[in-house]
Amino acid sequence: MKNLTFANGDKLPIIGLGTWKSKPGEVKQAVFWAIEAGYRHLDCAAVYQNEKEVGEGLKAAIDAGLVKREELFITSKLWNNSHRYEDVQPALEKTLSDLGLEYVDLYLIHWPISFKRGVGFPKSRDDFYTYLDVPLTQTWEGMQAVKNAGLTRHIGVANFNQDKLREVIEIGGQIPELNQVEMHPFLPQKALVSFCIEHGILMTAYSPLGSPDSRNESHKNDPVLLKDPVVELIAKKHGATIGQILIAWSVARDISVIPKSVNQGRIKENLQSAKIKLDQSDMMELDDIGIEFRFIDGSFFTGAESPYKLSDLFE
């Protein structure tokens, strides 16, 4: 499978298994199936509240002789309630304990906004810190410290726009090595991708299928990426599923991609996307798809009680 390469030569397999919204009781088996199918890249986060079970799946696969730890690339993320310098290392140590690992390969600041310690999701203005209380520079210094301590091999960010990336880059020292953001043909993030390429920052695309499991009453009028006629035609041309084309689109752009599933057949199918070679006309058609839409809109962090604005999150 195609890899992306960090500055020190470490490899990131371009397709990984996402574990967001994978329920306890399902994710252990999904992780085992994924490793059995050939995945070597797994994307986790403390806030997903399933890292302990992900760790059980990792241990089962390693104990079964399917893989060695050093053959895996494991990502996790710092939640918004641990952004103070002194909170970064304990948060990562809890993740490592849950995953049953001595280190992760990549640790990301999950969002560029800060909650008070112990707050999972804020309910009032008092649950937030501001950038004056906890500047991103403080959090990034904590991230550099855990890398220097050997608890993670690489450090990066998620959901950072160009302004926030510049702020962190200007600190000096280690620049973010990767930025994970929502990305798919409805949201190609061209300006952000160009910025990251220019600064040597790798990228990972989440919600590559348009976050179909987020559809509820408030999202009933959202466009459906998995039913888009442009993608359907390209899928027919390649004898592939629509999901495979959407994953192959990121691969063709040299952007790692983390589709999530707990279905064994779908897990295998998603990995097979690496074999699909989209040609120039396919990429041009997807480029001209005619719909612009962000599924994870950040509104849950920027409501009336929040000191943050959407411009703190997105371009």
**Which residues form the catalytic set?**
48
Query: Which residues are known binding-site members for substrate?
Result: 110
- Which residues are registered as beta bridge partners of 5? 11
Residue 261 CB contacts under 8 Å (≥ 6 apart), including other chains: 17, 30, 267, 270
Tokens encoding 266: 């779908």
Residue 58 CB contacts under 8 Å (≥ 6 apart), including other chains: 31, 35, 42, 72, 74, 99, 100, 101
Question: Using CA atoms, how far apart are residues 2 and 81, in angstroms rounded to an integer?
Answer: 35
CA separation (Å) from 46 to 114, 286, 301? 15, 34, 17
Q: Is the four-CA dihedral 55, 83, 10, 271 of positive or negative sign?
A: positive
